[in-house]
Amino acid sequence: MSNYSENKRDTTAQLRVDGVSLKTPIASSYLLDNISFQVQKGDRVAIVGPSGAGKTTLLRLLNRLSSPTSGSIYLENTEYRQIPAIELRRQITLVMQESKLLGMSVREALAYPLKLRGVNSSNIAERISGVIQQLHIPEEWLTRTELQLSTGQKQLVAIARAIVIQPKI
């Protein structure tokens, strides 16, 4: 995975990754080597690269499913290890390549993370309406299940599910 880094450090970045590396414990080879980047408020970021480049490994680090062997990750200037994992996962949303609707309709899949966060029904309906307008998702999709959607449609619904909870990242 290529290392993108700006020469100047912005300490106001929403998310900052500084020199993060991850070695495999067995072979002592690097899965990630000296990765640095920043994400500002309002940025939309895509992590791309060939198979085996470390995209999923980086996402695992950002979601605290793994820990770097060196370097630091900051969310709003707070070092990641100081933030409880559950709180971190409420603030950062990841969209994986293959997303599942867990046997729910599109509407239910969009509402589910909001219900888990205690959002009331009227706000849930308002947020779903807003996100489907923002992403130009047709109303008729809301009653469809995973089996009735193409791969691209499922990915768009996964993006909508990530946006509807209004995460910081």
Residue-wise pLDDT tens digits, 133-162: 999 999 999 999 999 999 999 999 999 999
Q: What is the pTM of this model?
A: 0.76
Query: For residue 24, what pLDDT is reported?
Result: 84
Higher-scoring residue by pLDDT: 42, 159: 159
pLDDT tier at 95, thresholds 50, 70, 90: confident
Query: For residue 11, what pLDDT is reported?
Result: 53
Asked if pLDDT for residue 45 goes beyond 90, the answer is no
Structure tokens, 46: 């895509």
- The Cα 169–Cα 89 span in angstroms is 10
Query: For residue 97, what pLDDT is reported?
Result: 75
- The Cα 64–Cα 11 span in angstroms is 21
Buried b (16+ CB within 10 A) or exposed e, 19-33: ebebeeeeeeeebbb
Phi, psi of 71 (to 5 degrees): 90, 175
Asked if pLDDT for residue 100 goes beyond 60, the answer is yes
The separation between CA 113 and the C-alpha centre of its own chain, rounded to angstroms, equals 14
Query: For residue 80, what pLDDT is reported?
Result: 92
Query: For residue 9, what pLDDT is reported?
Result: 47
- The Cα 21–Cα 121 span in angstroms is 43
- The Cα 14–Cα 131 span in angstroms is 22
Give the percent of the chain with pLDDT over 70.
93
| Mean of per-residue pLDDT scores for the chain | 88
HSE at residue 69, side-chain half, CA atoms within 13 A, is 13
Query: For residue 118, what pLDDT is reported?
Result: 94
pLDDT tier at 3, thresholds 50, 70, 90: very low
Higher-scoring residue by pLDDT: 3, 102: 102
- Kindly state the average pLDDT of the residues 7-13: 53
